[in-house]
Amino acid sequence: MKRELLVCAVLGAVSFQGCVNSPQEEQENTKDGSAGTVAHEVYTMGSALVEIQDQDEGLAKVLTAVSETTTVDIVVDQWHYDSTAEAWLRTVVADVDRGTRTRYDTVKLYDASGQSLRSAALADVARYIHIRTVEGRYAHNFDYRFEMTGVLENTDEQTLVTLNGVFDGSFEGTSFTGSSVNDVVVSLIPLNPFPLSGTVSFDRPLREIEIVFTGDNTATASTTRRPSGITRTFELSLTTGQETE
């Protein structure tokens, strides 16, 4: 009887250990690329209104958008106004390392009274809705859909936009939940495409992720494991999406 109990105890211990990640495995799972890709998309959406204004005024000089990386070949169906949709539309197909990334953007502009606008002049726009779907097929496979509302604030020296919204989708075939973009502030005049402040949060299997913007090319990501509650923090490059300690 004692021998049987001992065998069961040993087998139970072995079984339990097989379900627990080592610290190294847990750290690697934390930086799986999802935070970096999400932060990169929010960053590139922040200056969309400036890009549309430049296109509307004939100031767009190249086919690549201001916020796009210059390290890839990009084919752009440039920003253009669709009178039927009453929206500005754009498609970007980027050839990246080992694959492609495709973005479809729709932006609807409104004045202070809530009337739809064609003009993208920052002085006229009070708020806008930006919807983006993006498909990534390269180092990571992901499908995201963002829907954000931007509210403009004009002063004598500065124009800011505050972005709030939600997104959904999947990363490496796994859906995520509880996603939100919270008070992300971007300076449009003078233009600083890097968000000055704000957060993004979403849930991945067994962990919660929060991204904090700080006004430069880096953001801070924190992941909290469930059910242990252990939190790990790492940095994100907004221009590349790279995740580093």
DSSP per-residue codes, 20-46: SPPHHHHHHHH-SSHHHHHHHHHHHHT
Chain centre to alpha carbon of residue 97: 19
What are residue 144's DSSP bridge partners?
134, 169
Tens-digit pLDDT string for the chain (245 aa):
444 444 343 334 333 333 444 444 444 456 789 999 999 999 999 999 999 999 988 765 544 444 454 456 687 889 999 999 999 999 999 887 778 999 999 999 999 999 999 999 999 999 999 999 999 998 789 999 999 999 999 988 999 999 999 999 999 999 988 899 999 999 999 999 999 999 999 998 888 999 999 999 999 999 998 888 899 999 999 998 999 98
Q: Name the residue among 72, 69, 68, 145 with its Cα closest to residue 105.
A: 145
Peptide bond into 190 cis (omega under 30): yes
Sequence ranges of the domains in the chain: 30-244
Does this model's pTM top 0.85?
no
